[in-house]
Structure 1
């Protein structure tokens, strides 16, 4: 029968739809009669029990999502489209339960704003609660503040958030949704950056909690954590100058030249290439993000590197003098 996206023996679609149906029934009516009927279904087949395990994991994850959004995702419809919704929930039971699912649930939020930056642009944005949001180059953020939560969704790029006390009582949680999992501020200043398959959290002040499925990790000031849907390791000391980009600078401490040039390249629409012979050269210093030529000249003046301009801007080993 094969395996599903979670790496387990795949369950029949009919069983997944039955589990989805019971999930909605018990969500709507948890009476003793309903639970007795569910128990008979659960015990009738080992596949039923396996499907229900995944349903319980779905419920555990949806508990991390603001009630209005989770309710909309799990509510039992009274329309002719009920079968389509059953199939949608069954698809969620097949999918890896983690940040991706939270992303899907949050996709139904009533986003009331979208803040973006172009390549090379950085900007500040004040949120309705007095919190400050700083966007790095090529970044997009959706905003959904309501009576239950202060919610951002980071689509791509990097943001630095400095939270303000919530003017509403009781205070609403401040959340940042990413494809890798949920980030909750605990009164703090922090940044989140998305990469292709994972994300990086750096905490400057206060503390931040990361939720990945049923796993949680708190990251305190002065620490950072790079994580994915499959990995949530202990925090590490934050690298120096992690927020220097907010001041238009890139701070490097023995950073491989290839990686440094890639970071500078995020702020410009120029083709950059580093000769493999010097790609691993460790480079240290502070380089202006908005003046690529100056940054490259600073590297060439300090290290055995020459810059050649053309269709590609290339960094090559400096010519030796005879």
Structure 2
């Protein structure tokens, strides 16, 4: 993931014209047959406005940092992620150990914030990962999922899960004295025996309920009963029923993204967890909605499918850039 302006571009917010032009020049200059005329035009663009030079410098800085993160992922970041949660926290706090020393060169604090390196559970793979919490609660982590759980010293109650990023599936157990509780920045989901899919997206939290019912609460106070088979959106104090069924939402656990009349930023963000690079779609496309079935085990094909469905063409530059455009 890129930071600041680039992170915003991957969501629904508007792109600053200079930043958008910088990305377009980056893509053009990566082409195999770049003419001298194009290079001269690029230099003219850079000199035409201080905002252009600033946007270009910021883009290069973030692409460089992305490269640093990727090269470090096989050593420093991976070592940090593979540490048990208590050891990882101690290492990050003390700034000690091989991984911490290596991470320091690219900003340990920023990595902790962006990647939630102190999370109790995480999935660095694109395949769903099954595990059990310390109390035996079964849970499946989707790509890039980051979870904080009870027993981490925070004083949280038993079976209390905070989903910081990504998507999880977890099941409540009626035999336990306390319900399963999953929290996100948007709200709280509580159940005694249902299976839950909870997806912490930037614009909202998507919840699906199977095999029982659940109680959904928005942080602003709204509260509703969610029956078996339903799917819901929680955002900014609002809870709304979604057109998908719970089976549609749970399809991610089998490698498929199913959406009905879904905002494009949701789909781009989800596919971004599997692509891991920077994805750019035109601002006009981000204001639209789509329906479809997208293969999560072939993210390149999924991105092309999304672009074609919006009447756009897509260019992929390895696993660093995916740029959709008209024509």
TM-score normalised over the length of structure 1: 0.52
Structure 1 unmatched ranges of 5 or more: 1-112
The equivalent of 2:206 in structure 1 is 200
Instruction: From the two aligned structures, give the one with the greater helix fraction.
Output: 2
Note if contact 1:254-1:282 (Cα within 8 Å) is conserved in structure 2.
Answer: yes
**Pair 1:212–1:160, CA change in 2 (3 A):** same
**Pair 1:118–1:225, CA change in 2 (3 A):** same
**Pair 1:296–1:190, CA change in 2 (3 A):** same
The equivalent of 2:126 in structure 1 is 120
Note if contact 2:197-2:208 (Cα within 8 Å) is conserved in structure 1.
Answer: yes
Alignment of 1:48-87 (within 5 A): none
Structure 2 unmatched ranges of 5 or more: 1-118
The equivalent of 1:312 in structure 2 is 321
Structure with higher Rg: it is 1
**Pair 1:178–1:314, CA change in 2 (3 A):** closer
Pairwise CA distance, 1:152: 1.9
Alignment of 1:61-210 (within 5 A): 114-118=120-124, 120-144=126-150, 149-166=158-175, 171-196=177-202, 198-210=204-216
Pairwise CA distance, 1:178: 3.2
**Pair 1:200–1:298, CA change in 2 (3 A):** closer
Q: Is residue 263 of structure 1 aligned with residue 262 of structure 2?
A: no
How far apart, in 2, do the equivalents of 1:233 and 1:277 lie?
A: 26
How far apart, in 2, do the equivalents of 1:210 and 1:302 lie?
A: 33
Note if contact 1:115-1:141 (Cα within 8 Å) is conserved in structure 2.
Answer: yes
How far apart, in 2, do the equivalents of 1:217 and 1:301 lie?
A: 37
Instruction: Please provide the CA RMSD for this pair.
Output: 3.6
2:231 aligns with one of 224, 228, 236 = 224
Pairwise CA distance, 1:120: 3.2
Secondary structure of the corresponding residue to residue 160 of structure 1: strand
Note if contact 1:253-1:283 (Cα within 8 Å) is conserved in structure 2.
Answer: yes
Secondary structure of the corresponding residue to residue 197 of structure 2: strand
How far apart, in 1, do the equivalents of 2:264 and 2:159 lie?
A: 39
TM-score normalised over the length of structure 2: 0.51
**Pair 1:271–1:206, CA change in 2 (3 A):** same
Pairwise CA distance, 1:241: 1.8
Pairwise CA distance, 1:221: 1.5
1:290 aligns with one of 297, 304, 316 = 297
Residue correspondences, number: 203
